[in-house]
Structure 1
């Protein structure tokens, strides 16, 4: 086995170091799961091993294998995740009043951003000889892990809150996972998944505590940096929704790595967006004394009351000169429809939350009108059709008669004919 480019796992609180070749999730010097570990690298080794051209041809996240914390002899479990397009969004830009691009990670194999992390999890679990892999999830990570576990030949047992959307529960069942719907919140499902990991030795994919999961997510930062090189311009802002905080943390780490290595000549400010009903990371970043641990939002993918990766998440806006904002559920639903009607991109609520965040940041003067913004949509809309119905209303139901069409569109048709 060899991970020569990985030097250590370091506690984000006390900086105690651990061997990266062992299976360890958090620093045991701290109660609960507060001692989150950070993967540290030898970037000279990575730079020597990374020989891919930064030409925008990204078939999958494994273009950046030199950066990923897997052993040289590990069998990579992949469905060609990553390599998602960065779209110009002229119609959305006009509506928002600021130049906007969209990176659509809902196009990943299982329909969400989390595939980047699941590929790493199953690769490492299989290489470590573990037969069972688990996680807690509001839905997306469950579906994602289940698909990759099936690909890798591992048994998958996942814990979800009972209120998870039906579409997100059906998907892992198709992949053959054991889906355990816990009568309680995501946080209660999460605590149970950690308990069974300790008791039975199942490999835990939870990105909030498994230090290697954020490392898979950081490939979105690598991709954005490479796509910036191709475009000849680094965006002023990159915007993510935040739940446990792993995604924005990973994205910032990845982009900053490319900047530090001299592959790109600038970096963006990071804007983290949370729902008003699940605001713990925002509250921590803004220095609020009372941090609410309640999670009540229509955007189930970011409905996290007790985020485990707050420290890493707050680094992103802090180190990049960025910020955080809150948006309402109503704003999120409006943003979901806006993204669809302007650019034909169908996002689940959490995937549309960054668009609502841009609107809020513009109103607050955080983002200036002459800046360039990238919103990262993290999940495909078919995962939560009930929310989409709330955003759009129902279909028009008519009889099979031309007169009924005439009643709906007659005036418009007449106007078009006159033109």
Structure 2
């Protein structure tokens, strides 16, 4: 059975339409992977089918199943992804100087935001009768897809850049995936994954070219709208880091759907944050002529030199009234430590990048101090412990003597006086 709520796949460049029930990744009217497709819906049909308790509990992203592009007879492959809490962050708010909330998507089953998309990918691949699924990844998508492929009983082949963090590569190996470390950049690994998809017919999960992957990611927008209803207030800003552009595009699409359907009053502005060494979407949004396709940043999850979803990301920023800005690697490391030390949330560098972005936006007057901000952390800190070590300076090593402790903290009497 088909997806009754999905109407077409529409090219974001030329508007050509394609059957959503076929496996097609990009519009063939454009060279390479430029013709990114948009999934369009019959929202009247969705409204009729959706019976979620808005403002109520969110057990997983499947609360919004009526919005998701899966066939009615598909066997859902899930690890209970989504449904992440929206935390008040009073200590972080005080440190930043603006009311800040944190949505910690590092709490997803494999430790990253990408689980929202991987559940859709494996569900659709199995429904299509495919046995092998693949993607290119800087690390998180590799771990995520591998876990869901294992859950769904599929073979998984992963392409990663040669400098991907070893912590992220351990996960897909444990999940039973074949991990192919490409001697080159993420973009080269990506291009190779597309080539093998065409040659071998493997199902490709790459979020930028597989039109249905953004659709899974948009559930974070649904959840933020739902949680705004519960709180009785829509945030002024929602802040994401940007790599390929899929995440912020999906989040905006999801929130906008709830706004357009009258489920929530108002919508936030989207702030997209990139590292200075990987600034392509920022540059495109601000109409810079010189767009560098070399990505150099310690935030490996957003180290993308040639983003494939720039069009959707820029549209999200423009439609929401938001903007894009850049932060340095040092600012990202400072933000990683700040988020952990103020709120007990351990994030990888890309997940802490939005916090660095809020600081910069406040300094530049983009965000006002009387506004409310949501930062979305997209990955758990154990994904990249080397960056955490850089952020903190490491441990204090001492001999097993009380005098060593006194050297650091003073005598017991002095410590009591300090308390």
Both proteins in one fold, TM over 0.5 = yes
1:157 and 1:174 map into 2 onto residues whose CA distance is: 13
With the length of structure 2 as denominator, give the TM-score of the two structures: 0.99
1:322 and 1:158 map into 2 onto residues whose CA distance is: 34
SS in 2 for 1:192: helix
1:40 and 1:318 map into 2 onto residues whose CA distance is: 19
1:138 and 2:138 aligned? yes
* Deviations 1:257-305 (CA, angstroms, capped at 9, x unpaired): 0000100010000000000000000000001111111100000000000
1:315, distance to aligned residue in structure 2 (A): 0.9
Aligned ranges 1:260-409 → 2 under 5 Å? 260-409=260-409
User: Structure 1 residues 213, 413: CA separation in 2 closer, same or farther (over 3 Å shift)?
Assistant: farther
1:55, distance to aligned residue in structure 2 (A): 2.7
1:52, distance to aligned residue in structure 2 (A): 1.0
1:23 and 1:265 map into 2 onto residues whose CA distance is: 36
1:297 and 1:86 map into 2 onto residues whose CA distance is: 28
1:164 and 1:333 map into 2 onto residues whose CA distance is: 18
SS in 2 for 1:84: coil
Instruction: Number of aligned residue pairs: give it.
Output: 419
1:66 and 2:66 aligned? yes
Aligned ranges 1:196-211 → 2 under 5 Å? 196-211=196-211
Preserved CA contact (<8 Å) 2:409 2:415: no
1:143, distance to aligned residue in structure 2 (A): 0.3
1:229 and 2:229 aligned? yes
SS in 1 for 2:134: strand
Aligned ranges 1:2-151 → 2 under 5 Å? 2-151=2-151
2:42 and 2:54 map into 1 onto residues whose CA distance is: 21
Preserved CA contact (<8 Å) 2:218 2:252: yes
2:418 and 2:187 map into 1 onto residues whose CA distance is: 60
1:313, distance to aligned residue in structure 2 (A): 0.3
1:411, distance to aligned residue in structure 2 (A): 5.7
User: Structure 1 residues 129, 413: CA separation in 2 closer, same or farther (over 3 Å shift)?
Assistant: farther
User: Structure 1 residues 418, 6: CA separation in 2 closer, same or farther (over 3 Å shift)?
Assistant: closer
1:317, distance to aligned residue in structure 2 (A): 1.2
1:73, distance to aligned residue in structure 2 (A): 0.1
Which 5+ residue runs of structure 1 have no aligned equivalent?
none
1:410 and 2:415 aligned? no
1:399, distance to aligned residue in structure 2 (A): 1.2
1:215, distance to aligned residue in structure 2 (A): 0.0
Runs (4 or more) in structure 1 with deviation over 6 Å come to none
Preserved CA contact (<8 Å) 2:55 2:228: no
User: Structure 1 residues 418, 7: CA separation in 2 closer, same or farther (over 3 Å shift)?
Assistant: closer
1:413, distance to aligned residue in structure 2 (A): 5.8
Instruction: State the Cα RMSD in Å.
Output: 0.9
